[in-house]
Amino acid sequence: MNGQLVNSPMKQSSVRSECLSSHNVKELLDSVDAFLFDCDGVIWKGDKLIDGIPEALDMLRSRVLQFLFVLIYWGKKLVFVTNNSTKSRKQYAKKFQSLGIPVSEDEIFSSSFAAAMYLKVRNFPTDKKVYVIGEEGILEELELAGFTGLGGPADGKKTLELKSGFIFEHDKSVGAVIVGLDQYINYYKLQYGTLCVRENPGCLFIATNRDAVGHMTDQQEWPGAGCMVAAMCGSTQKEPIVVGKPSTFMMDFLLQKFNIATSRMCMVGDRLDTDILFGKNSGCQTLLVLSGVTNLSTLIDSANDIKPDYYTGKLSDILKLLK
Amino acid sequence: MNGQLVNSPMKQSSVRSECLSSHNVKELLDSVDAFLFDCDGVIWKGDKLIDGIPEALDMLRSRVLQFLFVLIYWGKKLVFVTNNSTKSRKQYAKKFQSLGIPVSEDEIFSSSFAAAMYLKVRNFPTDKKVYVIGEEGILEELELAGFTGLGGPADGKKTLELKSGFIFEHDKSVGAVIVGLDQYINYYKLQYGTLCVRENPGCLFIATNRDAVGHMTDQQEWPGAGCMVAAMCGSTQKEPIVVGKPSTFMMDFLLQKFNIATSRMCMVGDRLDTDILFGKNSGCQTLLVLSGVTNLSTLIDSANDIKPDYYTGKLSDILKLLK
């Protein structure tokens, strides 16, 4: 993982990806006021913390610089931006706490929250309902935002008997279908969501994200929201509005909340097509960590034209490089 | 439904679609030796026969022409080509019989059969296994062709507990995953199929078809194989080999079996993007019936560039037009 990855002149992407080193790590830290972190593959895998994470986050939060003989506090703002929609922000804060990392709800931007905020921004009528192909996190965020959600885990055990004369009824007041990662995906939900999108006039089709796979457990990758979203695209023949990474929708909220220019933010992630692309689309600096779904071969493959500014094995490498 | 549909000069497709009439119906019948029928939406909807089907098929099979004072038998060869993979050819023959239509197994070409034949043609090794996301029909055809199928209905009730340390094991000897319509689709099957395609070297990814929706019941359309296939594309980020319509793979078998030029065949179907396209791709004449998923508005829409040679309300219109 040493050296530089120079782009092929054929590719239209950033000039190069630099391996993080003791030479450039200070330059990166000094040029950044806020770090945006993806969670799965950066902070944890499934329910297991990745090596050295508490120490690395702690250092970034409480960074102190010595200028001549004066110590200057220069702690970084930390934000956790996750495409995983199975939890709400509240549930994520609890997960962080259970892993021994103090993170407040305000520092978390999950795609479940983004989906609810998308409806809020669009002034989605509160007398309309929202059908959810996904898990508890989306329903919780909808409720907190004042919307009525249907479906989700409650429809996970529903079965069908496809016999002559049977009519599958759906709620005509559903005005949006939100699709996220759903380990309880079934034909009932797919038919419900499909009928709403095809038959309810103006019904929105919203995807929390389109990640192909994710670390649902620490040992393996599993089909991600991209699988369920594609299924709905297959039956409705429509394309969704995507609110998670790499869509810049969440960035609008971050910018409203923190008065920091995107050029002084660094997006840290393990996926090229969501995290790094999101960072680039938003004008942030970008750091790829190889502790998740992307390996070095994929990064340097000539077919890949999404190049982060920096890359390293795992986040806590920063600590070693600063020593 | 009168008049002609003249193509926009912008579109590259057949010159026009003619509404079937008492003027052109004889011309069609005289120019055709074999009719290929789609089933769902043409012969039946769910388990209900469409009006006048037995009489129309009977007339085509036993057609007699009078030439001067001589009666000439000119019965048409009938073939049933269905994308619905939930049944095997044997099960389809039973369904036809239960609806009072005598059809032999040899006259049926289902996408379940096509999937097994695709493996046969490719000399798929019989010591390799085939994982099925789909229903009984695919497993039956695999067995008849001498292959070992896994998955299908047996995995429909399997559940998962995604906890730390859990490893989902899959059979490394699976050399092909076949995906068709599956009303028992679940996360277990999606993970199984995804692991085989991603991790078993050279594993084939075969789709019976990609129909978005179909008449699983007579009253409604339901997500079709296109939904399950898209889900697998979403998680594997790969495109499948499609063996059903509109792929011409099945036509190779038909041509081997019946010594009839494709120009003297007519494909009758209710779908533009599968049936009619299949007919056109194969060089057949084409007749669209509006008794299934396509309505006249869709046919004449300027966005549609798949134009059948003829169209009519339902197959039995032929009987009335001949009177």
Compute φ and ψ for B273, nearest 5 degrees: -80, -5
Within 8 A by CB and 6+ apart from B254, the residues are B36, B79, B81, B109, B265
Of A30, A33, A155, A182, the catalytic one is: A33
Strands A129-133 and A148-151: parallel
Strands B241-242 and B310-312: unpaired
Length of chain A in residues, anyone?
A: 323
Find, in chain A, the residue whose alpha carbon is nearest to that of B187.
A183
Residues of chain B with C-beta less than 8 angstroms from the C-beta of A217: 162-167
**Are B162 and A184 in contact, with CB atoms under 8 Å apart?**
no
Strands A34-37 and A77-82: parallel
> Tokens for B116?
């097994």
* Max intra-chain CA distance, chain A: 84
For residue B33, the number of C-alpha atoms closer than 13 Å in the C-beta half-sphere is 8
Peptide bond into A308 cis (omega under 30): no
**Are B137 and B179 in contact, with CB atoms under 8 Å apart?**
no
Residues of chain A with C-beta less than 8 angstroms from the C-beta of B164: 46-48, 217-218
Same fold, A4-83+246-322 and A112-242: yes
**What b-and-e string marks burial along A84-117, b requiring 16 or more CB atoms within 10 Å of the CB?**
bbbbbbbbbbebbeeeebebeeebbbbbbbbbbb
H-only helix segments in A12-88? 25-30, 53-61
Strands A70-73 and A77-82: unpaired
Give residue for tokens 């409650």: A154
CATH of domain B111-242: 3.40.50.1000
Inspect the interface and report whether the beta carbons of A220 and B165 lie closer than 8 Å: no
Residues of chain A with C-beta less than 8 angstroms from the C-beta of B183: 160, 162, 187
Inspect the interface and report whether the beta carbons of A165 and B219 lie closer than 8 Å: yes
- What residue segments make up the domains of chain B, in order of their start? 4-83+246-322, 111-242
User: How far apart, in whole angstroms, are the C-alpha atoms of residue B110 and residue B89?
Assistant: 6
A166-206 confidence digits (pLDDT tens): 999 999 999 999 999 999 999 999 999 999 999 999 999 99
CATH of domain A112-242: 3.40.50.1000
CATH of domain A4-83+246-322: 3.40.50.1000
Compute φ and ψ for B129, nearest 5 degrees: -105, 165
Per-residue pLDDT for chain B (323 aa), expressed as one digit of tens each? 334 433 333 334 445 899 999 999 999 999 999 999 999 999 998 888 999 999 999 999 987 766 677 777 778 999 999 999 999 999 999 999 999 999 999 999 999 999 999 999 999 999 999 999 999 999 999 999 999 999 999 999 999 988 888 999 999 999 999 999 999 999 999 999 999 999 999 999 999 999 999 888 888 999 999 999 999 999 999 999 999 999 988 888 788 878 889 999 999 999 999 999 999 999 999 999 999 999 999 999 999 999 999 999 999 999 999 98
> Tokens for A275?
């995290």
Inspect the interface and report whether the beta carbons of A218 and B165 lie closer than 8 Å: yes
For chain B, positions 165-184, list CB contacts with chain A under 8 A: 165-168, 182-184
Give residue for tokens 């004008």: A283
Per-residue pLDDT for chain A (323 aa), expressed as one digit of tens each? 334 433 333 334 445 899 999 999 999 999 999 999 999 999 998 888 999 999 999 999 987 766 777 777 778 999 999 999 999 999 999 999 999 999 999 999 999 999 999 999 999 999 999 999 999 999 999 999 999 999 999 999 999 988 888 999 999 999 999 999 999 999 999 999 999 999 999 999 999 999 999 888 888 999 999 999 999 999 999 999 999 999 989 888 788 878 889 999 999 999 999 999 999 999 999 999 999 999 999 999 999 999 999 999 999 999 999 98
Q: How far is B207 from chain A (nearest CA, A)?
A: 13
H-only helix segments in chain B? 25-30, 53-61, 89-98, 111-121, 136-144, 187-199, 225-236, 249-257, 277-282, 296-300, 317-322
Judging by beta carbons within 10 Å of its beta carbon (0-12, 13-18, 19+), is residue A6 exposed, middle or buried? exposed
